[in-house]
Structure 1
Amino acid sequence: MRVEAREAIVIGAGGHGKVIVSLLQELGLRVTMVLDDDPAKWGGKILSIPVKGPVSEFIWKHDTVAIIGIGDNRTRVKVAEANRGTRWITAVHPFSWIHPSVIIGEGSVVFAGSVIQPDTIIGKHCIINTGVTIDHDCRIDDGAHIAPGCHLSGGVSVGPGSFLGVGVSVIPCCTIGRNAIVGAGACVIGDIPEGTTAVGIPAKAITKA
């Protein structure tokens, strides 16, 4: 378990924020509040935790750790950059399996049922979602999101800000470029260039940078 604090703040009052709250509670943390910049969400609750905002007004007033519960990669990275002085935590679900050699950056989260094999590196503010398997010697760069049920073979590289949709599979040693998108259920058998959207079996580009 990579969480050492007793209390935490979650940024983001959407669906991903909800599962982050649930994970932190599973780890024994007291989530004191959920922050969001959408005034329509202020005064509401997520899993009984009050939603407040804007983020900039509250994040500096509380000497506690935080994690970003926003699924959209660009928004999550933007929030992280805007709040660089924040103490970000890394949260790993107790029902995941992570080899001791794996490196996971600050602000990243690993959900239940995920397996990460030896010598893999996970960057900052990444999402390794439910039931993902990542084999040996992979690299997942900052701000990437690996959606539920994805399976990455050994030696795969996923660039910063990239998104792999539900159920994507990737054969060994493929490189998925920065800010690429791979659609749900695709099978990646070759490199995906930066900024490309690819779908299908095998995955083929439908848009290019």
Structure 2
Amino acid sequence: MTQLFFSDYDIEPADTRPPLVIFGAGGLGREVLLLIQQLNEAAQVSWQVRGFYDDQTPASPTVAGLPYLGSGADLNATAEALAVAVAVGSSTGRAAVVARLTSARLSFPSLVHPGVALHPRQRIALGAGCIIQQSCVLTCDITLGRFVLLNLGCTVGHDAELADFCSLMPHANVSGAARLGTGVYLGTNATVIQGVRVGDNTIVGAGAVAVRDLPADVTAVGMPARAI
């Protein structure tokens, strides 16, 4: 996986960035729209949000005041360069969407709330397509893979590694030197303590506390978290 330090994403002038669309016309899509509006207000970027794509047609032709533009197939067929924010909360669902969006005209910027501290001295590496929401705290020497989602108020400690398509729901906590495999999903208020490894595609339920390593492809709940 190719990774860039966060500071490498902030070198392109705003007026050269392509217009942006959001894939996912549900609640998370509207939250991501708010994140983009907050970025624009902070003058960090100047995204022109065109509207929403989703494979499920929404009940209304507009979402949060912006048009529904079509399905993933329609997005792949676009004739212009577009940045895409993939606003799908499920790790497996997000990975499936990204696998279908194959047009060379599409790019996937990382979107980080302007209130989240990401300074070069923190040595935080991001893959493409990450979304980091308001009130998240990341310390130092952290690696996030491609299309990692950190929802509201998450914390990630020193030397942690989150592989591609990890999803942290609000107020989930990853302690120092923890390792989350590809597609790991942490429910609201779930915690992974220092040095624990969580296998690929495992779900750690809301409020659960992983105090020892968890294998791949299980659902773990409770305190301490146990596979069910």
Task: Give the aligned partner of residue 95 of structure 1.
Answer: 115
Are 1:17 and 2:35 counterparts? no
Q: Which consecutive unaligned segments of at least 5 residues does structure 1 have? A: none
Larger displacement relative to structure 2 (21-30 or 120-129): 21-30
Verify: 1:8 aligned to 2:20, yes or no: yes
- Secondary structure at the residue paired with 1:74? helix
Q: Report the TM-score when normalising by structure 1.
A: 0.92
Work out whether residues 72 and 100 of structure 2, in 8 Å CA contact, stay in contact via their aligned partners in 1: no
Q: 1:162 to 1:61 in 2, by over 3 A?
A: same
Kindly provide the CA deviation profile for residues 38-66 of structure 1, in whole angstroms up to 9, marking residues without a partner as x. 13x17522221111212222342332211
Matched, 1:203 2:222: no
1:176 aligns with 2:198: yes
Amino acid at match of 2:100: A
Letter aligned with residue 167 of structure 1: N
Corresponding residue for 2:79?
Answer: 61
Q: Deviations over 1:93-134 (max 9, x none)?
A: 011123421011111100000011111100111101110110
Deviation for aligned residue 1:11: 0.5
Q: Which of 150, 156, 160 is the matching residue for 2:178?
A: 156
Please identify runs of 4+ aligned residues in structure 1 that moved more than 3 A.
1-4
Question: Is there any run of 5+ residues in structure 2 with no aligned partner, and where?
Answer: 1-6, 41-46
**CA apart distance, 1:80:** 0.8
In the TM superposition, residue 34 of structure 1 has moved relative to its aligned partner by: 0.4
Distance in 1 (CA, whole Å) between partners of 2:71 and 2:175 is 41
Task: Tell me how far apart the structure 1 counterparts of residues 162 and 75 of structure 2 sit (CA, whole Å).
Answer: 31
Count how many residue pairs are aligned between Structure 1 and Structure 2.
Answer: 205
Between structures 1 and 2, the one with greater helix share = 2
Task: Identify which of structures 1 and 2 has the higher relative contact order when contacts are C-alpha pairs closer than 8 Å and 6+ apart.
Answer: 2
The CA deviation string for residues 126-154 of structure 1, in whole angstroms up to 9 with x for no partner, is 10111011000001000110111011110
RMSD of aligned residue pairs (Cα, Å):
1.6
Cα contact 2:161–2:178 (8 A) shared by 1: yes
